[in-house]
A = this chain, B = another copy of it.
C-alpha cells in the first residue's frame, strides 16, 4: 500500500470493503466537490493516490459512462450519473409520495422530503400544492442546511456534536434578510427544535416562504419532511394546526423507511 500508516485514511470505510470501489466513489465525490471538473494530478493531490491508480479507476469510469473526459484531458461527472440519480430519487419518491400526498390534502401546501447528503440537504420527493402550479419541482435540488426547514430538521435529529461539525464546516451565510447568521441563536433554535419535534423556517432561504419541517424518525441515514407555503396562508394559527401533522408524517415515514 502507499503509506505505512494503514487504515488511517477513510479510504477503506470498514473491514471487508472493496477499496477500489471506495476509492472510485471517493474520486466521484472529490470531483463533485471541486465543482465537477478536475485534472488527473489535481485528483492525485486531493486523494493522495498514485496517478497510475487514479488513471486506471478513472478510465474505467469513463468507459462505463459515469465520467466524461474533456478534450482538455480533464474529467467531469458523466451522463449516466444523471440517470441513476434520477432513478434513485424516484425510488424514494415511490414510498414517500402517498404520505406527502396525505399531507397536501390535509394542509393544502406543498410537501417535501429531503435527505442529508454530505453537508447539504437534497430533496428526494415532492408533492406540490394544488394552489399554485408555480414553483418548479425541487427534486434533486441541493440546499444548505442552515437556512431551510428540512436542513434544520435534519440537524436536529443528529447528535449535537455532528450537527455542530456540519455547521462549523458550512458556516451560516446570509441568504435572505431573515437568515440566522448567529451561531448561538442557531444553536438555541436547534435545541428548541429537538424539544418540540419540529422547526420553522421564516423565509430564511426564500423571502415570503414559511416552512414547517420535522425529522423523519428512524435508525437510518437521516431524512426530513417539510410543508411550505406563502406567508399569506401560513399564519401562526395555520402553523399551530400544521406542526403536529408534519411531525406525525415524519413518524410515519420513519416507520415506512425501516419497514418497506
Which residue of chain B has the shortest Cβ distance to A33 in the bound complex? B87
- Pick the residue among B20, B71, B82 that contacts A140 (CB under 8 A): B82
In the complex, whether A117 has a CB less than 8 A from a CB of chain B is: yes
Is the Cβ of A221 less than 8 Å from the Cβ of B79? yes
Stretch at the interface among A54-62, A155-163, A175-183: A54-62
Given A79-B115, A80-B117, A221-B79, are A17 and B85 also a contact pair (CB < 8 Å)?
no
Are A21's CB and B60's CB within 8 A?
yes
Kindly identify, within residues 101 to 139 of chain A, every residue whose CB is under 8 Å from any CB belonging to chain B: 115-118, 120, 122, 124, 128, 133-134, 136-137, 139
User: In the complex, are the beta carbons of A142 and B86 less than 8 A apart?
Assistant: yes
Expressed in whole angstroms, the Cα–Cα distance for A25 and B260 within the complex equals 24
Does A29 make an interface contact (CB < 8 A)? Answer: yes
Task: From known contacts A29-B84, A83-B140, infer whether A36 and B94 are also in contact, taking CB-CB under 8 Å.
Answer: yes
Task: Name the distance in Å between A94's Cβ and chain B's nearest Cβ.
Answer: 7
Q: Are B79 and A16 in contact (CB under 8 A)?
A: no
Residues of A within 8 A of B (CB): 13-14, 16-18, 20-22, 24-25, 28-29, 32, 35-37, 56-57, 59-61, 63-66, 68, 70-72, 76-92, 94, 115-118, 120, 122, 124, 128, 133-134, 136-137, 139-142, 220-221, 223, 258-260
